[in-house]
């Protein structure tokens, strides 16, 4: 097992008092550590504030933000016996063939959600739960193999309004303070309900700061990835390559894809705001049928260099430029985006599989396409990023998949040295903590 594969290689010391319990009054006044990968370790760190982020962006760059919205998914109720129950909504699901996720029967509406319930042992199938004096009721429709439950929720009126009245924001377990303002666990650009946790890197932006960035000539592309609680699931294997990554739903619109691809074609930088935006972009870039899941040899997790070619996806199959069913195109058959035969294709198009590219050279192999679906992409050191050139992120938990992703981009030793410096300088850590910019 290599050093990069050992879970213990991603551990670090963190005093408990550095875990931020509350958001700052002003979002953009959080501290910002700038980590410059072009400089030697030890000379690569600059200490700023987040409102200084403009100084590190250039006209023609593109910020990619995740516009998901956290719902007040934590519900406190009780069984018919009076025993207290906690339910955490993870994602809306289709329960059976007759149910599309929502049912209406007279004035009663029904939805089905996959949930975490506590105490789990007391909530067997068909157990009933009462929330808010009966404004919302739940029934355990199914017990899943991992211990989660499918819960049938019954209510009158509009579910979002009921949830807003009865639910609490699902703060991570390391935050013990009660959140006074629900909006502070959402970004200012949050649009689409569906997350059980916030894309926390975006919490530092104010509307005014985003407008200043736009006025500089920086493009902003919006993507959606609904963050699940798997984000906080610990890695429990010694070899990180044996870790099973959680799956989350994402979407990139054709408009967002065009903004990102035009930025790359023009030589601009794509800077992801958060690990969720990163996972979305890198998932959408892996488009041929042999490079779509963690299970395949040429997978997201094993993609030391993205092979792929000038292939198009049609109904799930890939075809080369001659119409052959293949995800591989030889140099003789490869076409650039202008239709010229070339084995080495310009950044506006693809590169052929056979092109030899040095391991340390930047690759932009697959352009982003409009797409949606579930992704379980696991990014750790050894992964070659295909889209992003920089990352805005928070400081992450020891031994977490998020720390592994950051280490894949900046190098494990560099990142751990930066974290050690952050501890010495008393940066605030985790969801409500300070930020890091990796360039």
Q: Would you mind telling me the total number of residues written for the chain in this entry?
A: 439
Do 14 and 131 lie in a common domain? no
What's the pLDDT at 325? 36
The pair of three-digit structure tokens given for residue 55, joined into one six-digit string: 């100084």
Residues 150-168, mean pLDDT to the nearest whole number = 95
Using DSSP bridges, classify how beta strands 270-273 and 390-394 pair: parallel, antiparallel or unpaired.
parallel
Is the residue at 45 inside a domain?
A: yes
Among the three residues 114, 131, 166, which one is the final residue of a domain in this structure? 166
Q: Answer whether residue 134 shows pLDDT above 90.
A: yes
Q: Rounded CA gap, 194 and 437, in Å?
A: 27
What's the pLDDT at 302? 35
Helix (H, G, I), strand (E, B) or coil at 297: coil
Is the residue at 346 inside a domain?
A: no
Dihedral angle at the C-alpha atoms of 345, 271, 284, 301, nearest 10 degrees? Answer: 90
Residues 246-257, mean pLDDT to the nearest whole number = 94
Compute CA distances 180 → 22, 214, 372, whole Å.
9, 31, 34
Is the residue at 349 inside a domain?
A: no
**Domain of residue 245, residue span:** 3-69+187-306+363-438
- Inter-axis angle of helices 275-285 and 401-410, nearest 10: 70
Q: Rounded CA gap, 311 and 318, in Å?
A: 6
pLDDT one-digit tens code per residue, 262-319: 999 999 999 999 999 999 999 998 643 334 333 333 333 333 333 232 333 333 333 3
Number of folded domains that form the chain: 2
Do 49 and 15 lie in a common domain? yes
What's the pLDDT at 285? 86
Confidence category of residue 40, pLDDT binned at 50, 70, 90: very high
Q: Rounded CA gap, 106 and 420, in Å?
A: 60
Do 148 and 162 lie in a common domain? yes
Q: Rounded CA gap, 29 and 184, in Å?
A: 14
Is the residue at 342 inside a domain?
A: no
Confidence category of residue 2, pLDDT binned at 50, 70, 90: very high
206: exposed, middle or buried (Cβ count in 10 Å: 0-12, 13-18, 19+): middle
Q: Half-sphere exposure (CA, 13 Å, Cβ side) for 354?
A: 9
Please give the full DSSP string across 42-65, using - where no structure is assigned.
Answer: TS-EEEEEGGGGGGG--TT-EEEE
What's the pLDDT at 304? 32
What's the pLDDT at 404? 97
Lowest-pLDDT range of 12-26, 123-137, 341-355, 364-378: 341-355
**More confident position, 56 or 368:** 56
Q: Report the CATH number that the domain containing residue 24 is assigned in CATH.
A: 3.40.1780.10
pLDDT one-digit tens code per residue, 170-210: 999 899 999 999 999 999 999 999 999 999 999 999 999 99
What's the pLDDT at 121? 83
What's the pLDDT at 286? 62
Confidence category of residue 256, pLDDT binned at 50, 70, 90: very high
Confidence category of residue 102, pLDDT binned at 50, 70, 90: low
CB 294 within 8 A of CB 303: no
Confidence category of residue 233, pLDDT binned at 50, 70, 90: confident
CB 144 within 8 A of CB 116: no
Using DSSP bridges, classify how beta strands 317-319 and 371-375 pair: parallel, antiparallel or unpaired.
unpaired
Among the three residues 116, 131, 166, which one is the final residue of a domain in this structure? 166
Left, alpha or beta for 399 (phi > 0: left; psi -120 to 50: alpha)? Answer: left
Q: Answer whether residue 80 shows pLDDT above 70.
A: yes
Do 377 and 253 lie in a common domain? yes
pLDDT one-digit tens code per residue, 308-341: 323 333 333 333 333 333 333 333 333 333 333 3
Do 144 and 16 lie in a common domain? no
What's the pLDDT at 94? 87
Name the pTM for this structure.
0.80
Do 151 and 213 lie in a common domain? no
Residues 67-92, mean pLDDT to the nearest whole number = 95
Do 196 and 272 lie in a common domain? yes
Q: Report the CATH number that the domain containing residue 106 is assigned in CATH.
A: 2.40.10.240
The pair of three-digit structure tokens given for residue 220, joined into one six-digit string: 């902003």
User: ω before 119 within 30° of 0 (cis)?
Assistant: yes
Residues 131-149, mean pLDDT to the nearest whole number = 94
Is the residue at 323 inside a domain?
A: no
Do 199 and 302 lie in a common domain? yes
Share of the chain above pLDDT 70, in %: 79
Do 147 and 224 lie in a common domain? no
Do 36 and 78 lie in a common domain? no
Among the three residues 166, 196, 228, which one is the final residue of a domain in this structure? 166
Is the residue at 336 inside a domain?
A: no
Is the residue at 311 inside a domain?
A: no
**More confident position, 294 or 30:** 30
Q: Answer whether residue 87 shows pLDDT above 80.
A: yes
Helix (H, G, I), strand (E, B) or coil at 161: helix
Do 301 and 377 lie in a common domain? yes
Is the residue at 316 inside a domain?
A: no
E strands along 343-403, which residues? 371-375, 390-394
Do 297 and 259 lie in a common domain? yes
């Amino acid at each position: 097992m290599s050093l990069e594969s050992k879970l213990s290689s991603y551990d670090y010391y963190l005093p408990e008092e550095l875990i931020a319990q509350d958001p700052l009054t002003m979002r953009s006044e959080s501290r910002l550590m700038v980590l410059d990968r072009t400089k030697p370790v030890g000379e690569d760190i600059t200490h700023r504030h987040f409102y200084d982020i403009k100084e590190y962006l250039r006209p023609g760059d593109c910020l990619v933000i995740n516009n998901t919205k956290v719902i007040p998914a934590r519900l406190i109720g009780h069984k018919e016996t009076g025993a207290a129950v906690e339910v955490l909504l993870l994602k809306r699901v289709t329960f059976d063939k007759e149910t599309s996720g929502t049912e209406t029967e007279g004035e009663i509406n029904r939805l089905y959600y996959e949930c975490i319930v506590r105490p789990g042992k007391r909530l067997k199938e068909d157990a009933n739960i009462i929330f808010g004096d009966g404004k919302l009721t739940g029934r355990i429709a199914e017990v899943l193999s991992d211990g989660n439950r499918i819960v049938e929720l019954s209510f009158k009126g509009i579910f979002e309004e009921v949830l807003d009245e009865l639910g609490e924001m699902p703060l991570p377990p390391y935050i013990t303070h009660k959140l006074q303002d629900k909006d502070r666990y959402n970004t200012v650009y949050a649009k689409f309900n569906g997350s059980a946790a916030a894309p926390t890197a975006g919490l530092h932006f104010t509307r005014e700061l985003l407008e200043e960035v736009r006025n500089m000539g920086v493009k902003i592309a919006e993507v959606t990835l609904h963050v699940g609680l798997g984000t906080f699931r610990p890695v429990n294997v010694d070899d990180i390559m044996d870790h099973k990554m959680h799956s989350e739903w994402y979407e990139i619109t054709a408009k967002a894809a065009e903004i990102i691809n035009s930025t790359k074609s023009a030589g601009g930088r794509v800077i992801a705001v958060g690990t969720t935006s990163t996972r979305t972009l890198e998932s959408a870039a892996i488009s041929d049928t042999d490079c779509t899941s963690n299970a395949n040899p040429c997978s997201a997790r094993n993609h030391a260099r993205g092979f792929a070619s000038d292939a198009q996806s049609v109904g799930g199959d890939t075809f080369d430029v001659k119409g052959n069913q293949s995800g591989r195109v030889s140099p003789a058959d490869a076409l650039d985006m202008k239709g010229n035969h070339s084995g080495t294709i310009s950044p506006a198009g693809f590169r052929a599989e056979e092109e030899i590219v040095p391991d340390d050279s930047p690759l932009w192999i697959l352009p982003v396409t409009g797409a949606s679906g579930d992704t379980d992409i696991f990014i750790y050191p050894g992964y070659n990023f295909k889209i992003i050139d920089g990352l805005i992120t928070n400081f992450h938990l020891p031994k977490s998949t998020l720390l592994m992703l950051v280490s894949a981009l900046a190098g494990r030793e560099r990142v751990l040295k930066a974290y050690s410096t952050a501890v010495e300088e008393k940066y605030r850590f985790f969801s409500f903590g300070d930020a890091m910019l990796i360039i």
